[in-house]
Chains A and B, each alone.
Chain A
């Protein structure tokens, strides 16, 4: 499985996408800094404590990484179907269901890992530079951090599942716009009040996993 994933990464030039994720992290850090100094000039404290600061970072990371994961879904599955390179994949000595399963796992893992790692990296940066910049004047304690980290892990899993939801819609005609629009709708949803509702997100994530399962089953019997 890991060998297959490595080949997929090489074939689809996923290094480029990862570079994009890194750039996005830098932009998010820049935004946080801008917000902090803008509020400071208004004599408002933007981030009273670490919880608010980390939550703000996380609220930027979540929709951004969902969008990146949508792009990965397009590259790994939708584009291959549209360009008919999928039929080449299906002539390799691997069953169709495995090909599709591995690709879906990659999408899920990418959503999860980019969210978790981006939070870890951005969080580490702000905590490390805090003594110099002074984002937060309040105390730093490990229990805040571990509580936050738990939430990030759960959100990572949720977003990973959600990212698969557009697959079912996308494979109907292997349509890139349909896939990206569905992803964009989910991104917008994350930015509304519904994005804070765990039941809503968990349901969407479960629907995403079911959608992926149905999509794999559909492709399994599809005439290419």
Chain B
């Protein structure tokens, strides 16, 4: 009896390939997490500023899926529902196994018909192998035994309740925009003004003495918000992500012909891009950059960030527990006369330097801003799974299931200090679940 075994049709193989190809843009390793009802493939980039996850549904995505929880040793995560199997393997290995099989159908007689995978981790056999069997026509069988590393998997947390800005648009539309972005541009600034959204890809000029290391380049695409399926974004808000990540995401989303939904609060807080199609729930959590820290070229101290950021967030998260309920008041308004800074400058305690915010936000020049602040924020944004702590399971479930109640959890309270990893959970008055509650009961709430 294998810990995990599943089988895929050719279509599934191609989808896995597309997914793995997309994950390859983020990291050279893929983390795999098997649960009772789904298989999750994730990648976290080396600077931990971008996280991608594909959650494959047991019944929709797979032809057969069997996760034998009792076999899943390792994970201390106690009994039943919480049981999972996690491991990590090289993207390159997966990619070569699931490589473009679609072409096979057309040109080759030995096209893949079915794919069977299982995890071999019995102590009496060779351990730590992911066995992939491609069953092809005419009785050709291709078997791969890929070595994996049994590790704990990190998942990014995303606070949906705080993300009051959201838009949804067809991936193919977005993809067609991405084609105009210069190949050498690095940052993508997304802004909205007067009911129009602007996507600006840019590279800033970098000089070293008199040498120009990078030529500036900027491409802007402005879209009417009517082209979006849904558009609720605070006016004048600029938020920046990496062009490379953006391209990887829309390219993949296009293969699924999905509609991408973006969720974000404000710069330097994560942005989530997600879409769901064919039993594949795809979520990307990207760190954003922006100019709210003003012209300072050195990373602002954490205290400044918290002083300005947290109150704004708290205000919204108290208003509502459902992320989409917050209606940005400025979407339908004409552009405010010449309010040059973004709307959350209304926060009195803001310590930001006020400055105009043209795309691209120049203040983001600081390369450090791409990365997560290495201090307090780390623990709250990129929660590492600690398996003797049940709460992180919940943290993941919250985002995976889009549960509004859990979504109401606020991870941004400034009172939450860095340890333990999920202090926000414990201190969250909105939470209806005490931190010590058994996981089984929590599961019941979700009805799964």
Asked if A and B bind, the verdict is no
Question: Taking beta carbons and an 8 Å cutoff, which residues of B are in contact with A?
Answer: none
